[in-house]
């Protein structure tokens, strides 16, 4: 289709003529228009929402007491990542990184790289190590890989470039909770209570949990 603008003819591409890359860009920008990013100790996740409903509406989840095997699981994933990327900073983040913290049994790993091209160069290597590439799932300037087996999510591997503000936020949150057991206990109680009330409604669980977490993050970053 062609459209005249000030005497010039500009051809407008039909959706069915989009390349695969164009289709991915359209999908991404549509998602970004509906996306609200919030900090979570469970995971840095992008919440794509309608005006009044979370996309988490029918999601299944569980919250369990702290598992002493979680650090060992992190080390297993970190070892695989080091074998691929070499000398990069790898941090255990999220609830599974805090002794005594209840949470979803999914290991969150932060990998800090020089730039995102470093992550993209090793997509095939990561997938051979069973980490599925999910692209810029969190923010446009990050990359995510996930370990999923039998439709169960076991790990989120978050790649952020050096100097990204979320790096400090995620590590500061983890360190604060590790050194403040009373906050860990309080936050665990909140999650357990919410799970008991909203075990079949992840959207509501996430909404109220994130409200608590956002207040906590404000206190931490202001300290």
Q: What are phi and psi of 121, to 5 degrees?
A: -65, -20
Give the pLDDT confidence score for residue 56 in this predicted structure: 62
Q: What is the chain's Cα-based Rg?
A: 20
Domains of the chain from N-terminus onward? 70-210 (3.30.460.10)
Quick one: average pLDDT of 64-81? 98
Give the pLDDT confidence score for residue 151 in this predicted structure: 80
Quick one: average pLDDT of 34-62? 46
pLDDT (tens digit per residue) in 1-46: 444 444 444 344 454 454 444 444 434 333 333 333 333 444 433 3
User: Where do the H-state alpha helices sit in 55-98?
Assistant: 70-85
Provide the β-strand partners of residue 146.
132, 156
pLDDT (tens digit per residue) in 138-162: 788 999 999 998 888 899 999 999 9
Question: What CA–CA distance (Å, rounded) separates 3 from 118?
Answer: 41
Give the pLDDT confidence score for residue 139 in this predicted structure: 85
Question: What CA–CA distance (Å, rounded) separates 216 from 223?
Answer: 11
Give the pLDDT confidence score for residue 49 in this predicted structure: 31
Of 32, 62, 24, the C-alpha closest to 49 is: 32
Question: What CA–CA distance (Å, rounded) separates 191 from 211?
Answer: 12
In the structure, what pLDDT confidence band is assigned to residue 80 with cuts at 50, 70 and 90?
very high
Provide the β-strand partners of residue 4.
9
Give the pLDDT confidence score for residue 38 in this predicted structure: 35
User: Where do the H-state alpha helices sit in 67-122?
Assistant: 70-85, 116-120
Of 50, 58, 16, the C-alpha closest to 33 is: 50
Reduce the DSSP state of residue 143 to 3 states and report it. strand
| C-alpha pair distances (Å), 132 with each of 10, 81, 126 | 40, 13, 7
pLDDT (tens digit per residue) in 82-119: 999 999 999 999 999 999 999 999 999 999 999 999 99
Between strands 107-113 and 89-93, the pairing is antiparallel
């Amino acid at each position: 289709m062609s459209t005249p603008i000030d005497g010039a003819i500009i051809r407008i591409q039909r959706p069915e003529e989009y390349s695969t890359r164009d289709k991915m860009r359209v999908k991404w920008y549509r998602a970004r228009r509906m996306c609200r990013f919030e900090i979570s100790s469970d995971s840095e996740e992008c919440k794509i929402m309608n005006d009044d409903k979370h996309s988490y509406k029918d999601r299944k989840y569980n919250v369990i007491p702290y598992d002493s095997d979680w650090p060992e699981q992190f080390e297993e994933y970190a070892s695989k990542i080091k074998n691929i990327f070499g000398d990069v900073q790898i941090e255990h983040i999220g609830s599974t990184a805090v002794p005594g913290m209840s949470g979803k049994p999914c290991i969150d790993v932060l990998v800090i790289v020089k730039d995102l091209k470093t992550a993209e160069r090793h997509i095939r290597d990561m997938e051979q190590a069973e980490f599925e590439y999910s692209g810029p799932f969190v923010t446009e300037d990050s990359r995510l890989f996930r370990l999923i087996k039998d439709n169960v999510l076991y790990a989120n591997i978050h790649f952020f470039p050096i100097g990204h503000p979320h790096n400090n936020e995620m590590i500061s949150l983890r360190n604060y909770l590790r050194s403040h057991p009373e906050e860990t206990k309080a936050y665990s109680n909140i999650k357990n209570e919410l799970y008991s009330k909203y075990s079949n409604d992840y959207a509501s669980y996430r909404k109220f949990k994130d409200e608590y977490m956002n207040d906590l993050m404000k206190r931490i970053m202001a300290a």
